[in-house]
Amino acid sequence: MKKILLGAFLALLLYLSVQAAQAGSPAPLAYVVRVQQDITPASADFIHDQLKKAAAQNAAVFIIELDTPGGLMDSMKAIVQDIIASPVPVVTYVSPPGAHAASAGTYIMYASEIAAMAPATNLGAATPVMMGQEGAKPQSVLEKKMASDAAAYIRGLADMRGRNADWAAMAVNKSVSLTATEALQKHVINVMADNVPDLLKKIDGMQVKVGERSETLHTAGATVEYHKGNWRARLLAAITDPNITYLLMIIGFWGIIIEFSHPGAIFPGITGAVCILLWLYAMNILPVNYTGVALIMLGIACMTAEAFMPTIGVLGVGGAAAFAIGSVLMFNVPGFAVSYWLIGLVTLVSLAFLSFILAILIKDRRKPSTVGPETMVGMAGKVVEWNGKEGAVRVNGAVWKAESAVACTLAKGDKVKITAVNGLCVTIDPNQSVST
């Protein structure tokens, strides 16, 4: 009897100690980030930094809320490598309803330990497309090699995570897509969830392989923390947006043109130089079609030339056409395109500004000055005193030092014509003098 009571007492003591330990331990952390943009170097940099922070906080799970039309292959591969190397289990969750994980987003889904989707979302269409070949089927040897390599790449990710490798290859080779319900049925994803709390409940207790170890997820009741990128990540994301990159280029060229046509304005020149430098940085990391950039520059040059040597609109209209075509061609990769509305608006504004407003400003600048000493040129003055080549004359009630290119004899009160003003000295033409 004593042994039974002692065993019961020890069991109770053990139970109470476990409960106390659990009550004293903090709730698991669900570290959540949102990627709702094209997959660019900014996205890769953001996820890389956030994964490090999640590991430093010993997070139970790292959740990427994903909504992307695709992006750059190099950036996608950098994200995939970071996910595979992460000591924290990664869940990629296509959310909110209406979102999609196309192209590069599909690879990221397959690389994650857990793939999840909200209702009314979709994924797929992961065929790599070369610049200038959007919407075309792979035809060249290089394109076929790219498609074959991409299919093998995503198959490897599918095998590693134990998901449907055949459909993954079809997503690359045939650009197929799936709804969330179909993806769950075909074992492309692990779970469907309405929101993050629902997702945490459904993945609680799942077994995942993180690196070389197996791990059981404990996410029920986890504390959810949403994290945003720092100012560097936000700046990089902004300037690598195709529309922002395009505007930086246009504003930069406008500023430089204004500065050259009106030297000393300073502000347009500084603004233009900063925008050009930011544009060049974005050009270095984005898939830019340089034929498009060349056409834009040609268009700007033609529209500017219209202001200096009017051709009844020929240069202006031709420049506007080259500008618009170049703007369309500047980015020609899925997920990277400038809005056609923005192109139309900027083309019209550029044509109006460069061909007409700039012409008016230049003509106004060439008009004779109406204020200051220069207005005295052509006026008549009266000699106050004169000696050979120099003396003094009265103009507009003020006495000015005067000089002549040749020696002449002038008497006080003689009328002379002012031909130039140099500082505080005027130049007269003795042949224009009139005796009183």
Condensed to tens digits (0 to 9), the pLDDT of residues 129-140 reads 644 344 444 456
Q: How confident is the model at residue 409 (pLDDT cuts 50, 70, 90)?
A: confident
Nearest-10 Cα torsion for 82, 85, 89, 93: 30
pLDDT beyond 70 at 4: no
201 is catalytic: no
- The residue behind tokens 């040129």 is 377
Whether residue 390 contacts residue 404, with contact meaning beta carbons closer than 8 Å, is answered with yes
Q: Over the stretch 38-83, which tens digit does the pLDDT of each residue have?
A: 888 888 989 999 999 999 999 999 999 999 988 888 889 999 999 9
Catalytic residue among 52, 137, 144, 145: 145
Nearest-10 Cα torsion for 319, 320, 321, 324: 120
How is residue 18 written in tokens? 């476990």
How is residue 184 written in tokens? 């769950």
pLDDT of residue 131: 40
Q: In what order do the strands lie in the sheet with 177-179?
A: 100-102, 122-124, 177-179
How is residue 322 written in tokens? 């080259």
Helix (H, G, I), strand (E, B) or coil at 71: strand
In this structure, are strands 390-395 and 398-404 parallel, antiparallel, or unpaired? antiparallel
Domain made up of 373-434: CATH architecture? Beta Barrel (2.40)
Q: Over the stretch 209-262, which tens digit does the pLDDT of each residue have?
A: 888 889 999 998 899 999 887 777 778 778 888 889 899 998 998 888 878 777
Polymer length in residues for the chain = 436
Q: Report pTM.
A: 0.67
Catalytic residue among 43, 75, 103, 327: 103
Helix (H, G, I), strand (E, B) or coil at 431: strand
Whether residue 256 contacts residue 61, with contact meaning beta carbons closer than 8 Å, is answered with no
Nearest to 74 by CA among 108, 100, 44: 44
| Cβ within 8 Å of residue 322, ≥6 positions away | 295, 296, 298, 299, 302
pLDDT of residue 286: 78
For the chain, the average pLDDT equals: 82
Output the CA torsion sign for 218, 220, 221, 224: positive
- Ranking 81-90, 301-310, 395-404 by mean pLDDT, the lowest is 301-310
Strand (E) positions, 140-193?
177-179, 191-192
Distances (CA, A) of 38 to 94, 300, 301, 334: 14, 29, 32, 10
Q: How confident is the model at residue 12 (pLDDT cuts 50, 70, 90)?
A: low
Type of residue numbered 63? I
435 is catalytic: no
pLDDT of residue 366: 52
How is residue 111 written in tokens? 């690389």
% of the chain residues with pLDDT over 70: 81
Q: Over the stretch 258-313, which tens digit does the pLDDT of each residue have?
A: 787 777 778 888 998 999 999 888 888 777 888 888 999 898 888 777 767 766 66
Distances (CA, A) of 272 to 94, 278, 290, 399: 40, 10, 20, 45
pLDDT of residue 183: 93
pLDDT of residue 162: 92
Give the fold, CATH level 3, of 27-233: 2-enoyl-CoA Hydratase; Chain A, domain 1 (3.90.226)
pLDDT of residue 393: 87
